[in-house]
Structure 1
Amino acid sequence: MADAEQPNQDPAPAPPAEGTDGPKGPSKNELKKRAKEEEKARKAAEKAAKQAEADAQKAAADVDYATEFYGKLPLNQSQSRPKRAHARIADLNASMDGQSVLLRARVQTSRAQGSKMVFLNLRQRTDSVQALLSVAPEKVSKQMAKWAAGLSIESIVLVEGTVKKAPEAIKSATVQDAELHISQIHLVSGLETVLPFTVDDANRPEPPETEAEDVQIKRVLLDTRLNNRVVDLRTQTNQAVFKLQHGITHLFREYLDGLGFIEIHSPKLQGAATESGASVFEIGPVFRAENANTHRHMTEFIGLDLEMAFEEHYHEVMELLDGLFLHMFRSLKQKYANEIETHHNEKRLGRIVRAKYDTDYFIIDKFPMDLRPFYTMPDPDDPTLSNSYDFFMRGEEILSGAQRIHDAPCWLRRCSARLNNIRRASLFPRDPKRLEP
């Protein structure tokens, strides 16, 4: 019986012969390399994620949320008038703690403390206050702080802020018990050039002659001040000087008005000297062509002049002037105490009178005739003396007065005695040898 045919089957693979290798897997070096590449990719991904997060944070930080709170104001063309109340620095004090104020001032000094805080010294005339601007979320940005720190000295700014009681006395400002915390600051007018000196430097007084100069301290010399007078006038000392000058002219008018005097405005260009006996006064420019290069002479200055008739004796005029000066001195001390600064520029005569009579203000009467113009009335009892007087303050002459000769024959006698040359009596003498001036 024949056997049934079996189906075809693939033969089973033969086992590898002894001594031969099968298929190879990754080597140890390859495995290490792959591990390094995977670690590198992981670190790169982490770095990219961190960078993306940092970029997102930086982008968020670069968003200036305070753009409305600082910057340069547009040109004021009287576009609007909101009538907001503006504060005076002189009125700021610790009792206003927590109050919001708006003020316009000059930047006298600026000091950045890191990137998040700026100290400013703001000034109005002679008054100043310390102001602080510090970064705060949604209120003051870093960009705002950086911009404020870059403001030029003497720029004019419009500032809004809150008055805060100072933890200790602020010696660098006239307002010492309070400071201003800024919430908004805008530039009204900036500077396009560098100033020749700062007002802070100009505020420093010149050292006394007996004191050695400190080379580390910047001081501004007089010529530099006068050549740049517009800047120099902003110092606290000069502001006080001209405020006192205003007070003096006001008190001069006030006193003479009370006595019935009339203020006049006379022409300054005249062909000859003029005098008056009426009760009048004038405040106006005086011109001198003399070559007097001293600390107390100028070719033009503002004079306070008065003319009056007396009834019996020229001392009536002197007594009126004495009353005028006493009124001015007392009122200045009462109304302008903050502007008055003591100095020690006393002359020898002032020191003698001060030591003997304990006063800075005095009058000298009966000057020798040789020291007075020929038209001064001589003393009736001693012709070598004159009916004239000078008023002094701390050794400096502040007023000169006299009784003038009002009788023609007497005047001619004085001319002949004093002139000794007719040319002295001519305004601009002319003779064969003189054509000018």
Structure 2
Amino acid sequence: EKASGGSTFGDAPMVQSKSMSDKKWTAIQDLKPNLAGKEVLIRGYLQTTRLMGKGAFTLIRSSLYTAQGVCFESPTIPKEMVKYIGALPVESVVDVKGIVTVPNDPIDSATQKMVEIQISELYCVSKASPNLPFLMEDACRPDFEQEADVGAYTGEEVAAADGLVRVGQEMRLDHRWIDLRTPANQSIFRVESMVGTLFRECLIAKDFIEIHTPKLIGGSSEGGADIFELDYFGKPACLSMSPQLHKQITAACSGFERVFETGPVFRAENSNTRRHLCEFTGFDLEMAISEHYDEVLQVFSDLFIHIFDGLNTRCAAEIERVREQHPFEDLKYLRPTLKITYAEGCALLREAGIEQDDYEDLSTENEKKLGGIVKQKYDTDFFFMDKYPLSVRPFYTMPCPDNPKLSNSYDFFIRGQEILSGAQRVHDPDMILERAKALGIDVDESYVNSFRHGALPHGGGGIGLERVVMLFLGLPNIRKASWFPRDPKRLSP
């Protein structure tokens, strides 16, 4: 079928998988000077188009890469073709055929700076609405100043002092399909994908296996009121807050010993902050231990160092593209990971004149302050604390043998924010019931029974993927690290 405009330009017929041709496509990222003189065919979004005299200049984008195409009136290029290109709405999808040339000077507006396509044919595959909700240029503009990464989030936007137009977070989320096209977002989610790859890579090398546990459960997986309740064929049920109970059963009671899971986690917390979501991606692991929960902490230390090292080497280009729009300092971390006790952390706060009791939970504000103190004292953004007060931990947490007010639990922090919570678990059924009763929690009978037929001592933890990505990249809002965020006020798109 022919395009609507003519033999070399126009609206292409709809792609309906009618046939396969022998066309050879070139990825924009592969456009390099070694292709000079060769004809290529590319597809991408029309990021910009402008008419200059008898020519049209375009910038074509695919994922993170852009290339400039030019088209001038000539015996083979009718003026109607130039006008057609200049009139196309930006963000339309186009197919471009042309000869690759090497410009005299680098093209600063393109990632493929040392090539230019002399357009001979251009067809519009999918025409964008001429009235976009915002311009890509505005959506890509660098932050004027660094926002706080803690505190309330209202969605209200404050105009930057430089007077330039920027696209607000809520406007971005309302039209997420366009927002995700920016180089920064393309990079953020490639980094996030790599975190998953590195997570699996490290744990599989340590003999872990991946499990898949139900997200529809009876009652609450950890106790508490922050659950999404639903009717399950006339029975009360809820969305899982954690794979906690099932990962314990598989690791400690079913003989698998080392397990991990990646999947959605649901929290019905009416928290409108910069770091909370009602649905996020949990990266969980659970493992049998021989003598001490330090065995688990060593695995976590190795895991995070593997992830951080891997991101810095495999995603170096993506990290820089994020930094172009959202400036941040590289994450500092030690080998091995810095470990302090909860009491030592509280003491550091008090030494800095901040009130903090050894047996009271840390507030978000004090966690952030402690992160700054640790950075100044130890030159690291990443550390963990253990021996938390038993009163602030879940019922299945093993009490400390040396102090009944403490527990064999731990949290990991990046830039002063918690990204992992874990502990040695109680593997004795009578102690599980005792702890649950003390906290007023009704425990599922099958969970308790699973420990009555021989259970391995074990421990583990749960990681919030979006928070790890947010803090590794120094982003000011967890919504920037979530594909389609769900917070108390958002259920779409």
Say whether the 8 Å CA contact 2:33–2:115 is kept in structure 1: yes
Per the alignment, residue 82 of structure 2 pairs with: 145
Match of 1:79 in 2: 18
Shift of 1:176: 2.0
Moved more, 287-296 or 372-381: 372-381
1:337 aligns with 2:276: no
CA distance in 1, matches of 2:102, 2:265: 49
| Correspondence for 2:408 among 387, 395, 398 | 387
Q: 1:337 to 1:305 in 2, by over 3 A?
A: same
Tell me the distance in 2 between the aligned counterparts of 1:192 and 1:119. Answer: 20
* Kept after mapping to 2: 8 A contact 1:88/1:103: yes
Please tell me the residue identity of whatever aligns with 1:135. E
Query: In the TM superposition, what whole-angstrom CA distance separates every residue of 1:285-331 from its partner, at most 9, and x where no partner exists?
Result: 11111122211111111111111111111111111111111111111
Over residues 161-190 of structure 1, what are the superposed CA-to-partner deviations in whole Å (9 max), with x where a residue is unaligned?
Answer: 122223223222222222222111111110
CA distance in 1 between partners of 2:146 and 2:294 (Å): 41
Aligned to 1:123: 61
1:292 and 2:271 aligned: yes
CA distance in 2, matches of 1:407, 1:371: 20
Select which of 108, 114, 127 maps to 2:47. Answer: 108
Q: How far off is 1:106 after superposition? A: 0.4
Shift of 1:121: 1.2
Secondary structure of 1:339 counterpart: helix
Q: Give 2:189's aligned residue.
A: 242
Which residue of the other structure, out of 169, 175, 180, is the alignment partner of 1:233? Answer: 180
Describe how 1:286-365 pairs up with structure 2 within 5 A. Answer: 286-340=265-319, 341-342=322-323, 343-344=327-328, 347-365=368-386
1:267 aligns with 2:205: no
Q: Measure the CA separation in 2 of the matches of 1:309 and 1:193.
A: 59
Stretches of structure 2 lacking an aligned partner (at least 5 in a row): 148-157, 222-244, 332-367, 445-493
Code of the residue aligned with 1:133 in structure 2: it is C
TM-score (norm 2): 0.67
Q: 1:76 to 1:412 in 2, by over 3 A?
A: closer
Q: What is the DSSP-based 3-state SS (H/G/I as helix, E as strand, rest coil) of the residue aligned with 1:329?
A: helix
Give the number of equivalent residue pairs. Answer: 356
The range that moved more, 179-188 or 350-359, is: 350-359
2:142 is matched with which residue? Answer: 205
* SS of structure 1 residue aligned to 2:29: helix
Larger RCO, structures 1/2 (Cα 8 Å, 6+ apart): 2
Partner residue of 1:373 out of 389, 394, 401: 394
Task: Decide whether aligned partners of structure 1 residues 364 and 179 sit closer, same or farther in structure 2, where only a CA change above 3 A counts.
Answer: farther
In structure 1, distance between residues paired with 2:159 and 2:21: 54
Unaligned runs of 5+ in 1: 1-65, 428-437
Residue 204 of structure 2: aligned partner: 257
1:258 is displaced (CA, Å) by 1.8
Cα drift, residue 130 of structure 1: 1.8
| TM alignment of 1:2-41, pairs within 5 A | none
Distance 2:419 2:208 in 1: 21
Among 112, 117, 123, the residue aligned to 1:186: 123
- What amino acid is the match of 2:417? E
TM-superposed CA distance for 1:215, in Å, is: 6.0
Match of 1:166 in 2: 103
How many percent identity over aligned positions?
44
Structure 2: how far apart are the matches of 1:128 and 1:334? Answer: 23
Residue-by-residue CA offset, 1:116-164 (whole Å, 9 max, x unaligned):
111111100111112212222x221211110000011110000011222
Deviation of 1:351 (Å)? 3.0
Matching residue's letter, 1:113: M
Alpha-carbon distance in 2 for matches of 1:394, 1:95: 44
Indicate how the Cα distance of structure 1 residues 271 and 415 shifts in structure 2: closer, same or farther if over 3 A, else same: closer
Task: Report how far residue 247 of structure 1 moved.
Answer: 1.0
Residue 40 of structure 2 aligns to which amino acid in structure 1?
V
* Aligned 8 A contact 1:94 1:166 in 2: no
In the alignment, what sits opposite 2:261?
282
Shift of 1:376: 1.8
Structure 1 170/232 Cα, relative in aligned 2: closer, same or farther at 3 Å? same
Distance (Å, rounded) in 1 between the aligned partners of 2:211 and 2:393 = 27
Q: Give 2:270's aligned amino acid.
A: N
Matched to 2:87, the amino acid is: G
Amino acid at match of 2:144: P
1:96 maps onto 2:75 in alignment = no
Partners of 1:190 and 1:156 in 2: how far apart? 6
